[in-house]
Amino acid sequence: MKKGIECMNELELKYGCNPNQKPSRIYMADGSDLPIRVLNGRPGYINFLDAFNGWQLVKELKKATGLPAATSFKHVSPAGAAVGLPLSDVEKKIYWVDDLEMEFTPLANAYARARGADRMSSFGDFIALSDVCDAATARIIKREVSDGVIAPGYEPEALQILKGKKKGAYNVIEIDEDYVPAPTEVKQVYGVSFEQGRNELKIDDDFFGNIVTASKELPEAAKIDLAIAMITLKYTQSNSVCYVKGGQAIGIGAGQQSRIHCTRLAGSKADNWFLRQSPQVLGLQFADGIGRADRDNSIDLYIGEDYMDVLAEGAWQKIFKVKPEVFTAQEKRAWLDQMRDVALGSDAFFPFGDNIERAHRSGVKYVAQPGGSVRDDNVIAACDKYGMTMCFTGIRLFHH
């Protein structure tokens, strides 16, 4: 822990996963000091689960890409993850940061992208940042509905901004970036202790060397996107699938029992991300006083299948200044057909080619998965059908 930071062996929490689960605490079983300090607020049990998983994710993303990284966590799975590449004007608009008159730092870009890709899922998130939180990043965080943030440090101005959230109750955690956990991790379920070695798998360029498709094209940008996908999956509740484009996760399907349902769920989120960039959505005129969360909900409604019901009931006046034209299924499909060069990662093998068929509909060109299915040939054939590049990593990434 950094010099001058007060340390403690344990921290009492308000309650566990639910208010009836008391007592609750986090502590170091070996008697050493906790690697964190609470600078503001009173984080809870789930907050710390999100914080520690999120911190591991962004630390690995930074190491793998060399870029500042951020993630938006909800219920022990990431809703979004990204590295600090510049935001386009369209991205600034769909992430509701185009009105901020400030210089966007790489870390601010990373969080805006992590939060913005799936804004409905990120609502009320816990944030993890790979780098010291700067004022620009804190300004974006301040305007969002969020439970807290963990980072290796905070600039003085950033800390003051964050302390002003939630009437002074916003959770701000500082973590020792030099902390190294024990190589073995232990947890209890129903009074029974489970023990396993930590998943210290290193994901880098060599991870994607075994290309099994006819197409061998795998540019550096695609390798970065695949690394983001696989590192994100490493900290996502399994089964899980992740779509990535341009340095950010655009669709994460977590905790599904069926692989195809992971692929469909994540694909629908990726589709929504791209549909939000369409002229139809960018041209929406919202009623005065509509906040960002309500705008997000309204956009989701507009691009969904229930908008005709809203038109029929005349409820659109509460949302929009001008009645929007219906965004037809044919128009949506035509727009989605322009989405290309998406990367897709899976935490375990694809058992059937139907996953590739669904991925193709969301512009996937690059795929990484462990391989090892008895139907690998069917999955490879599906990739070859669409000119996709797929690599077998040979390693499963289940997380529970």
| 255, two tokens | 């905790």
Catalytic position from the list 62, 74, 163, 365: 74
Where residue 284 falls (left for φ over 0; alpha for ψ -120 to 50; beta otherwise) is beta
Q: Are residues 366 and 307 located together in one domain of the fold?
A: no
Q: State the pLDDT at residue 3.
A: 41
Given the DSSP bridges, would you call strands 240-245 and 342-346 parallel, antiparallel or unpaired?
A: antiparallel
Q: At what angle do helices 259-275 and 292-303 cross, to 10 degrees?
A: 110
Q: State the pLDDT at residue 7.
A: 57
**Residue 381 belongs to some domain of the structure:** yes
Q: Is the dihedral of CA 262, 384, 278, 87 positive or negative?
A: positive
Q: Where are the alpha helices (DSSP H) in the chain?
A: 45-65, 89-94, 106-116, 119-122, 135-142, 156-163, 220-234, 259-275, 279-282, 292-303, 307-313, 329-336, 354-360, 376-385
Catalytic residue flag (residue 75): yes
**Residue 397 belongs to some domain of the structure:** no
Q: How far is CA 10 from CA 13, 37, 193, 290, in A?
A: 10, 11, 20, 43
Catalytic position from the list 59, 63, 75, 332: 75
Catalytic position from the list 3, 202, 216, 400: 400
Q: How many CA atoms lie within 13 A of 295 on its CB side?
A: 19
| DSSP-based three-state secondary structure for 16 | coil
**Residue 400 belongs to some domain of the structure:** no
**Residue 331 belongs to some domain of the structure:** no
* Maximum alpha-carbon separation in the chain: 64
Last residue of a domain, one of 180, 200, 222: 180
**Residue 2 belongs to some domain of the structure:** no
Per-residue pLDDT in tens (0 to 9) along the chain, 400 residues = 444 344 578 899 989 999 999 999 999 988 899 999 999 999 999 999 999 999 999 999 999 999 999 999 999 999 999 999 999 999 999 999 999 999 999 999 999 999 999 998 999 999 999 999 999 999 999 999 999 999 999 999 999 999 999 999 999 999 999 999 999 999 999 999 899 999 999 898 789 999 999 999 999 999 999 999 999 999 999 999 999 999 999 999 999 999 999 999 999 999 999 999 999 999 999 888 888 888 898 898 888 876 766 666 667 777 888 888 889 999 999 999 999 999 999 999 999 899 999 999 999 999 999 999 999 999 999 999 999 999 999 999 998 8
Q: Are residues 128 and 234 located together in one domain of the fold?
A: no
Q: How far is CA 299 from CA 93, 98, 118, 147, in A?
A: 13, 17, 12, 24
Catalytic residue flag (residue 47): no
Q: State the pLDDT at residue 1.
A: 43
Q: State the pLDDT at residue 312.
A: 62
Q: Are residues 163 and 82 located together in one domain of the fold?
A: yes
**Residue 1 belongs to some domain of the structure:** no
Q: State the pLDDT at residue 310.
A: 65
Burial environment of residue 93 by CB neighbours within 10 A (0 to 12, 13 to 18, 19 or more): middle
Tally of structural domains, the chain: 3
Q: Are residues 341 and 308 located together in one domain of the fold?
A: no
Last residue of a domain, one of 129, 151, 180: 180
Catalytic residue flag (residue 109): no
Identity of residue 69: A
CATH code: domain of residue 74: 3.40.140.20
Report DSSP letters for 160-187, one per residue.
HHHHTGGGGT-EEEEE-TT----SEEEE
| 171, two tokens | 């959770």
Closest Cα partner for 73 from 82, 84, 81? 81
Q: Within 10 Å of residue 392's Cβ, how many Cβ atoms?
A: 21
Q: Are residues 172 and 221 located together in one domain of the fold?
A: no
- Measured in whole angstroms, how far is the alpha carbon of residue 272 from the centre of its chain? 15
- For residues 215 and 384, give the distance between their C-alpha atoms in angstroms, rounded to a whole number: 7
Closest Cα partner for 208 from 345, 305, 339, 324? 345
Catalytic residue flag (residue 14): no
Q: Are residues 141 and 203 located together in one domain of the fold?
A: no
Q: Are residues 74 and 176 located together in one domain of the fold?
A: yes
Q: Are residues 69 and 195 located together in one domain of the fold?
A: no
Catalytic position from the list 47, 171, 239, 355: 239
Note whether 357 and 382 are within 8 A (CB): yes
Q: Are residues 118 and 32 located together in one domain of the fold?
A: yes
Q: Are residues 346 and 256 located together in one domain of the fold?
A: yes
Q: Are residues 305 and 233 located together in one domain of the fold?
A: no
Q: At what angle do helices 135-142 and 156-163 cross, to 10 degrees?
A: 10
Where residue 90 falls (left for φ over 0; alpha for ψ -120 to 50; beta otherwise) is alpha
- For residues 336 and 147, give the distance between their C-alpha atoms in angstroms, rounded to a whole number: 33
| 260, two tokens | 């195809």
| 206, two tokens | 């060599």
**Residue 399 belongs to some domain of the structure:** no
Domain region containing 189: 185-275+336-392
Q: Are residues 15 and 91 located together in one domain of the fold?
A: yes
pTM score of the predicted model: 0.94
**Residue 398 belongs to some domain of the structure:** no
